[in-house]
Structure 1
Amino acid sequence: MIDSTILHYRIIEKLGEGGMGVVYKAEDTKLKREVAIKFLPHHISANKEERKRFEIEAQAAASLNHPNITTIHSIEEANEKVFIVMEYIDGVELRDKIKTGPVPIDEAISIAVQIAEGLEAAHKKGIVHRDIKSQNIMITGDEKIKIMDFGLAKIKGGSQVTKIGTTLGTIAYMSPEQARGEEVDHRTDIWSFGVVLYEMVTGKLPFKGDYDQAVIYSILNEEPEFKNYSELNSLILKALAKNPEERYQTTNDLLMDLRLLSHEPYVKPKRNIIPLKAGIIIGVIAVLIIAVLLFKNSFSSIETDNISIAVLPFTDLSPTNDQAYLGDGLAEQLLNNLARIGNLKVTAKTSSFSLRDKNLTVQDIAEKLKVSKVLEGSVQRIDDKVRITATLIDASDGYQIWSETFNRSSNDIFLIQDEIGESVVKALKLKLLGLSSSPDKKNVNPQAYSYFLQGNYFHNLRGKENLQKSIFYYSEALKIDSTYAAAWDGLSTAYSSRSDFGYGSVEDDNKIALKYAKKAIELDSTLASAYSTIGWIKRIYYWDWTGADSVYQLALKIDPANSNIIGGLAALASTHGRFEEAIRLDQKVIEKDPLNLSAYLNLVLHAYNAGEFNLAISTAKKLIEINPKFPGLHMKLGQIYLLQSNIKMASQEFENESDELWQLYSKILLNYAERKNNEADRYLDQFIKDYEDIAAFQVAELYAYKGDMETAFIWLEISYELRDSGLTTIIGNPVFKNLENDPRYSNFLKKMNLPYRKKI
């Protein structure tokens, strides 16, 4: 066969042989290029059914045009031989690369992303490969991946040409349903992909046996083992779920998680048009920022090293008093843009907005927020006219540095665009904002923008009814514009909050939130808050610690000063018992965001678990000064006093607790501390009746505090089944101290993939 010519193809060398044919390297003498030719064996070509399968391979693969899939040039027949002419790939099989040892994680992820992108292209056309394996993956000299051999490809809705009961594929890579000879869909490729990924990072196959049936038994009944934990483990395990319903349902979902692990955002092009009424608001914001920056004796004329500023929510002066959401939206956008100035210190929204309606002087506000300048304003809307006033104040003397009023109508859009354009052209002042010369604005429908701002407003108010309103307004925005990334981000956060506060289903709301956050990132890869939400869900609900860390780190690259992201990393460190790191990160958030209530609470909790009771007490007292009615705070402070055997101080704090759940929790702790066990048991029964679905972890804490270790372990298991977020605080928790040397405790931590350090 070597050196022979068939049609206009000169055979050069044999490349390989498989059950569906022999492959040769050849020269296309007409087009002067190297190709690969796959011949159907004669004993198979004579069989109508097998020949039909061969034709399906060619038809399926030829319909695909993707850089990660081998290109099919033609199907030919000559001298009673049928063959496919394919792209020749000069490279090595992934199988051969793996033979030299496990592939480094970053490289494995890069390879996996390309394989998944090729599979996604095939699945979108309804084509299932059915024989994904490392032998069918080629790596070119420039590190490009090519999926080969769609010989077992199945076209969705196509005729069944395989005999009933016949299984196709390579056994070690077969999905359970494929191994059983059942009907398969694209999820069988996702399983095989998981096998290849496992093979890459471990250097071996996940399911092994001395003979075929032993391998199939392993596939159907055993779980893959990991010697070393890597950030890919949870992804691989999900791809290798034996029930197809529990696997990744689409290759796109798989790709999203791979991209998150790779720390490379998924970038899609965005449009660059500013809408009508929304454009007015965005335009005015831009003008405000430019005005502040260009005003003499302010940011343009002095160094910003010593300047710090707080942007307060703009006051609603509209006759109908229903534009607070617009005032908040204006202030937040101004704050976000000012924060892009490298040396300018801008107080975070959580702190500046917390002083709303406090009747404080500018000097009082500046002192609390530790800033030298304050930007405040007002918004007034009547019909289609809007008036926005902004004032920049020097906190040292209370005098205005600059003030201006902007009157606009819906007919002013072109004027505003001209005004913004002229401002952008001026010198290079906008470089201070970190903005590009062509601002990254999306064509947002004005009504959708209004709904989005209202969604933000009600989400910030918290509470069950407000969160429902928030979800409603974000959803309304998306009904108008389904490509509105910020609205998907907001909707994701609202569902996550609803779950966190116990207002909805923990499972359903977190899955919805994750789905919507991924949708937001697909539309805009720069939304740090969407990555942060994914990190939160992976940490709180999925307990995917490495996945959460990867997403948080990616979010931090996008927005290094984001308090929520840093706070998430602090909580993640605390979950693993790295309390010194957690406390340092909490203090970093508080330094930048001095009125961030969540940061203070996190510091209390992390210091408490670290055994740093004095720090926990002093921090709790500071938080009480800011918000005396913060839910659960007085309970936690009282609990610390109990652990210090100070029942009197504990009782005083318990009396000041305002939240009903924590009031009852406090009563139980106090009665057990005072040896009033019957009374405490009665309250505990009531607590379980009222809150078992949302506070199972707290029930475990109470039984542990009582000294009933058996029941405490039972409730820890219930917490596990309910995915109770409280379990993320189990390590170091003082009430579980007596459980730590029990083998069940270490086994429980192992089940959660958490570290266990035996107490001496």
Structure 2
Amino acid sequence: MKIAQFEFDPEQDKLGEGPLSEVFRATDTNLDRVVALKILRAHAEIDPSADQRFHREAVHSSKIEHRNIARVYEYGQYEGTYFIAMEFLKGRTLDKILKDQRLGFEECLRIAQQVTRALREVHEAGLIHRDLKPANLMVLDDGTVKLLDFGIARASNESSITQHGMLVGTVLYMSPEQVRGDELEMRSDIFSMGAVLYHITTGKLPFPGKSFPEVCMAILDGKPEPPSIARAGFPREFEDFIQKCLHTDPQERYADAREAHGALLQVSASLLGTTHRQVNVRGTLLVMPVECHASEEGLENCRVIASGMRKDLATELGRLKDLEVVLLDKAQLPEDGYDWSLSIGLRVAPPEAQLEMRLVRYSSVNGSAQKHEEWTEQLTHSDPNEWALQADLVRNAARELRRHLSESSLKPIGKTRDQEASIQLAQHAHDVLSKGTSKHLMAAISSFRRAIEADPYCAIAYAGLAEATVRKYLYWDGDQTYLEQAREFAARALALKTDCAEAHTSLGFAFHLSGHSTDAQREYRIAIEYDEKEWLAHRLLGALVAREG
């Protein structure tokens, strides 16, 4: 069968269907690529608003270019049939995943971070999704989460196609205001997101019911079972986040997805050692608009990457404790009032991209404003996938900036530092730790703590303390608390020195013993990347890979 330039087999290529549309795996014969082709059902004409909603889905989806949102390539009509050609995705939607398995808390956190990131883009585009549910969230084979289906999304200032008081969305994840048929704002999406996160973390619906009216009454009643009761061992911080999203009063929820995403990063800080590394950097950083350099045909693509990269980079840097990160357009840029400014240049010539960064610090000398170029860096990366390219650029840029900002700002306040003594104590502790007995372990821990007392900014002391704490877990009763402490010590080391190979090894070791193989392998490989002589990382990685075949 062929619709416009899209070829597919109606029987073999069907991917899914809904009340008003069907989705097929199709080939775009013009561009020789596989797409997901969404077709409005012929009988949908009985709903006079169906074609308007279908068109609106295409318009709204095409406004947003982000790696966590399914891309729309084309919208059209062919011989009376409306269609949308979209990015073809290999993965499974969350509703199908939930039928087969129970997700771990860390996996749920990673999914949640991507959902809030996608929803942040939706809200910043002035849109309300209005139908967040597991079936509209796809997890790709590489772990990337994609937000789907803008069929009932609308602009925050757009009049509704449905009649006032008509329910839109999927009732199991609706906000109270949706159930009442009220006008919606972005906080409604926050509620729906909370309902989805409740479901994926507990395996239960927050508002169960045997009938449509029962579910609606449960939502309006607003008293879901606390996640910690629904599932034992539920992290308190994650529970607080979800319950705030599910507050009956919209004003008590997060205002939008940007605020929710920031709060979720704080949750990750305490649960995932590498997700949020706090550094005491005081001041305000202005991230300038990205200067794009590309060929005429590639300029628009460069701008898309630059826009997403700038926002994600600002989010990453915003994790630095006490550092305020500001994004302004050129027309809004003031003359002063900032401690640092970051200029970024991006050159894209697929599959390669080059990032140039320049950090300027502002100060006042004898009442006169001064500018000092503190740091410049050039990063080059190659990847045929533009979204992977953007992600790698952000990760590498954030790592280098965190390192510089932390090193320039980590100055003792009211406390003297004896760096030489600290290093000597840490080295002695490592020697003692290598002897391998429980007696020597306790002596090493004592020496690492004394090293930190001598210099609270000694990264290798925190890294050593992390390794020693993991060994404490091995030597004694296997208390998981020791692994949590080890991850915290490793995170502190990495906040002080992001390229500390020993800290990455210790963090990987803690993940390893917690059963998180993927995270462990990642940290071991990072450690080896920073120091190819990091023998423990080599040994542990080899053992882990051999065990898993």
* TM-score for the superposition, normalised by structure 1: 0.38
Q: What's the CA shift string for 1:576-635, capped at 9, x where partnerless?
A: xxxxxxxxxxxxxxxxxxxxxxxxxxxxxxxxxxxxxxxxxxxxxxxxxxxxxxxxxxxx
Q: What's the CA shift string for 1:363-411, capped at 9, x where partnerless?
A: xxxxxxx99xx9xxxxxxxxxxxxxxxxxxxxxxxxxxxxxxxxxxxxx
| Residue 343 of structure 1: aligned partner | 423
Tell me by how many angstroms 1:336 deviates: 7.6
Alpha-carbon spacing, 1:175–1:278, altered in 2? closer, same or farther (3 Å) = farther
Instruction: Give the strand-richer structure, 1 or 2.
Output: 2
Residues 57-66 or 33-42, more deviating: 33-42
1:99 maps to a residue whose letter is K
Q: What's the CA shift string for 1:168-192, capped at 9, x where partnerless?
A: 1011010010011111111111111
- Is the CA contact (8 Å cut-off) linking 1:260 and 1:551 kept in structure 2? no
| Residue 359 of structure 2: aligned partner | 272
- Is the CA contact (8 Å cut-off) linking 2:459 and 2:493 kept in structure 1? no
Alpha-carbon spacing, 1:47–1:202, altered in 2? closer, same or farther (3 Å) = closer
- Is the CA contact (8 Å cut-off) linking 2:423 and 2:458 kept in structure 1? no
| Residue 72 of structure 1: aligned partner | 72
Tell me by how many angstroms 1:14 deviates: 1.0
> Separation in 1 of the partners of 2:420 and 2:414?
10
Q: 2:252 aligns with which of 246, 260, 263?
A: 246
| Residue 167 of structure 1: aligned partner | 167
1:8 aligns with 2:5: yes
> Separation in 1 of the partners of 2:411 and 2:369?
11
Q: What's the CA shift string for 1:209-241, capped at 9, x where partnerless?
A: 111011111111142223324222111111100
> Separation in 1 of the partners of 2:71 and 2:164?
31
- Is the CA contact (8 Å cut-off) linking 2:363 and 2:370 kept in structure 1? no
What SS does the aligned partner of 1:177 have? helix
Q: What's the CA shift string for 1:277-312, capped at 9, x where partnerless?
A: 4699999xx9xxxxxxxxxxxxxxxxxxxxxxxxxx
> Separation in 2 of the partners of 1:331 and 1:193?
41
- Is the CA contact (8 Å cut-off) linking 2:172 and 2:205 kept in structure 1? yes
Alpha-carbon spacing, 1:253–1:126, altered in 2? closer, same or farther (3 Å) = same
| Residue 33 of structure 1: aligned partner | 33
- Is the CA contact (8 Å cut-off) linking 1:340 and 1:434 kept in structure 2? no
- Of the two, which has the highest radius of gyration? 1
> Separation in 2 of the partners of 1:70 and 1:141?
15
1:343 maps to a residue whose letter is I
| Residue 63 of structure 2: aligned partner | 63
Superposed, 1:198-209 pairs within 5 Å as: 198-209=198-209
> Separation in 2 of the partners of 1:138 and 1:152?
18
> Separation in 2 of the partners of 1:230 and 1:242?
22
Alpha-carbon spacing, 1:553–1:179, altered in 2? closer, same or farther (3 Å) = farther
Tell me by how many angstroms 1:556 deviates: 4.1
> Separation in 1 of the partners of 2:60 and 2:136?
16
Alpha-carbon spacing, 1:549–1:164, altered in 2? closer, same or farther (3 Å) = farther
Tell me by how many angstroms 1:101 deviates: 3.0
- Is the CA contact (8 Å cut-off) linking 1:20 and 1:151 kept in structure 2? no
Superposed, 1:149-228 pairs within 5 Å as: 149-225=149-225, 226=227, 227=230, 228=232
Q: 1:234 aligns with which of 237, 240, 254?
A: 240
- Is the CA contact (8 Å cut-off) linking 1:175 and 1:188 kept in structure 2? yes
What SS does the aligned partner of 1:15 have? strand
Q: What's the CA shift string for 1:394-436, capped at 9, x where partnerless?
A: xxxxxxxxxxxxxxxxxxxxxxxxxxxxxxxxxxxxxx9879x
Alpha-carbon spacing, 1:79–1:549, altered in 2? closer, same or farther (3 Å) = farther
Tell me by how many angstroms 1:94 deviates: 1.0
Alpha-carbon spacing, 1:24–1:554, altered in 2? closer, same or farther (3 Å) = same
Superposed, 1:77-116 pairs within 5 Å as: 77-116=77-116
> Separation in 1 of the partners of 2:171 and 2:72?
26
What SS does the aligned partner of 2:49 have? helix
> Separation in 2 of the partners of 1:159 and 1:184?
11
Alpha-carbon spacing, 1:18–1:330, altered in 2? closer, same or farther (3 Å) = closer
- Is the CA contact (8 Å cut-off) linking 2:152 and 2:169 kept in structure 1? yes
- Is the CA contact (8 Å cut-off) linking 1:339 and 1:345 kept in structure 2? no
- Is the CA contact (8 Å cut-off) linking 1:36 and 1:85 kept in structure 2? yes
Superposed, 1:258-657 pairs within 5 Å as: 258-263=264-269, 264-265=275-276, 266-268=315-317, 272-277=359-364, 332=412, 342-343=422-423, 556-557=492-493
Tell me by how many angstroms 1:335 deviates: 5.5
**Structure 1 unaligned spans of 5+:** 287-328, 347-369, 375-431, 436-547, 561-760
Q: What's the CA shift string for 1:646-670, capped at 9, x where partnerless?
A: xxxxxxxxxxxxxxxxxxxxxxxxx
Q: How many corresponding residue pairs?
A: 321
Tell me by how many angstroms 1:20 deviates: 3.3
What SS does the aligned partner of 1:223 have? coil
- Is the CA contact (8 Å cut-off) linking 1:117 and 1:255 kept in structure 2? yes
Tell me by how many angstroms 1:72 deviates: 0.5
2:189 maps to a residue whose letter is D
What SS does the aligned partner of 1:275 have? strand
What SS does the aligned partner of 2:362 have? coil
Q: 1:256 aligns with which of 259, 262, 265?
A: 262
Tell me by how many angstroms 1:158 deviates: 1.4
Alpha-carbon spacing, 1:83–1:553, altered in 2? closer, same or farther (3 Å) = farther
Tell me by how many angstroms 1:155 deviates: 0.8
Alpha-carbon spacing, 1:219–1:105, altered in 2? closer, same or farther (3 Å) = same
Alpha-carbon spacing, 1:334–1:273, altered in 2? closer, same or farther (3 Å) = farther
Alpha-carbon spacing, 1:214–1:553, altered in 2? closer, same or farther (3 Å) = farther
Tell me by how many angstroms 1:65 deviates: 0.6
Instruction: Give the helix-richer structure, 1 or 2.
Output: 1
What SS does the aligned partner of 2:244 have? helix
Alpha-carbon spacing, 1:152–1:554, altered in 2? closer, same or farther (3 Å) = farther
Residue identity over aligned pairs, in percent, reads 30
> Separation in 2 of the partners of 1:150 and 1:550?
43
1:242 maps to a residue whose letter is T
Q: What's the CA shift string for 1:39-94, capped at 9, x where partnerless?
A: 11223246543322221111111101110000011111012111111111111111
Tell me by how many angstroms 1:343 deviates: 1.5
Alpha-carbon spacing, 1:341–1:259, altered in 2? closer, same or farther (3 Å) = farther
Tell me by how many angstroms 1:267 deviates: 2.2
> Separation in 1 of the partners of 2:255 and 2:2?
46
- Is the CA contact (8 Å cut-off) linking 1:99 and 1:203 kept in structure 2? no
- Is the CA contact (8 Å cut-off) linking 1:25 and 1:88 kept in structure 2? yes
What SS does the aligned partner of 1:194 have? helix
Alpha-carbon spacing, 1:29–1:345, altered in 2? closer, same or farther (3 Å) = same
- Is the CA contact (8 Å cut-off) linking 1:260 and 1:554 kept in structure 2? no
> Separation in 1 of the partners of 2:268 and 2:18?
34
Tell me by how many angstroms 1:102 deviates: 2.3
> Separation in 2 of the partners of 1:95 and 1:340?
56
* TM-score for the superposition, normalised by structure 2: 0.52
CA RMSD of aligned residues (A): 3.9
| Residue 351 of structure 2: aligned partner | none
